[in-house]
Amino acid sequence: MAEEIQLSVKPREIVGKQVRALRREGWIPLVVYGAHVQSRNMQAEERALRAVIAKAGQNRLIRLDTGDGGQHVVITREIQREPISGNFWHIDFMEISLTEKMDIDIPVVLQGTPPPTKSGEGLLIRGLESVTVRVLPTDLIPEIVVDVSWLVNLNDAVHVSDLKLSDKIEILTNSEEMLAKIIPVKEEVVETEAPVAAAEVEVVGKGKKEEEAAAEEEAKS
C-alpha cells in the first residue's frame, strides 16, 4: 500500500488580499477540491507544510487532518511560490477516492553508470522525465527507477516498453518513448592552416623584387 503522510490543517475563512496577513503569521492558504467533493478553503502551518511537501512531492498520498475528526486523502496538484524568496504562496490539493483509479505522472530516476560513459566513449542523455500511469491510489509508487548500467554499447537505449512495473499499474505513455540513451562522444576536429613551403616563399619574394626593379627602370626612362 502506498505510504500516507499526515498534515494537520484548519478551515480557512480569510480570502482575497487579507491572505497576506495570514502568511505573515506563518500560515499558507490551501484549496482542497475533487471530482466528488465541494471545493474547500484550508490553511496549514508553513513549517509543517514545507516538511510534508518535501517528503510527498506531487505523487504521494497526504492525509489531511482537520482536527474535528474529518480526514481527507489528497495529492498535491499545484504549488505556487513567491517569485523572489521561493516561499510557499498557495497550494492546491486534489482529494481522491482510494477505490477509483487515477491517471498520474510518475518521475523517472536513472540509476547506475553505463560503461561507455566511464571510458569516455559515450554520453548518457535522458528522454522523458516522467511516465503517465493509471493506478489505484493505494498502489501508487513515488518514482520509477531505471537501471542504465546495462547500456554497454553506443546507441543502446531504454524505452518505456522496457519498464517492468506491477500488474496493478497500467502505463499510458507511448511504449516507444525513450527514457535514456548512450550517444557517441564527438571528437573535436581542430583545423590548421597548411604550412607554406620555403621554396614557395622564396619564389614569391623573388618575383616581388623583380617587379620593383622593373618599375624603377621604367621610371628612369
Sketch out the chain's domains with CATH numbers. 4-95 (2.40.240.10), 102-184 (2.170.120.20)
pTM: 0.71
Cβ neighbours of residue 168 closer than 8 Å, sequence gap 6 or more: 135, 136, 139
What is the per-residue pLDDT for 209?
52
Contact 124, 163 (CB under 8 A): no
Chunked into runs of 10 residues, the chain (221 residues) has average pLDDT values of 80 86 92 88 94 89 83 90 90 92 94 92 94 94 93 94 95 97 75 52 50 54 50
To which H or E segment does residue 116 belong? Answer: helix 115-119
What is the per-residue pLDDT for 201?
46
What is the per-residue pLDDT for 175?
96
Cα–Cα distance for residue pair 44/64, rounded to 1 Å: 10
Cα–Cα distance for residue pair 157/149, rounded to 1 Å: 11
What is the per-residue pLDDT for 187?
55
Residue 178: name the closest of 104, 110, 89 by CA: 110
What is the per-residue pLDDT for 37?
83
Nine cell digits for residue 56? 510527498
Contact 88, 28 (CB under 8 A): yes
3-class secondary-structure state, position 85: coil
Strand partners, 97: none
What is the per-residue pLDDT for 3?
66
- Phi, psi angles (nearest 5°) of residue 37: -130, 155
Cα–Cα distance for residue pair 69/5, rounded to 1 Å: 17
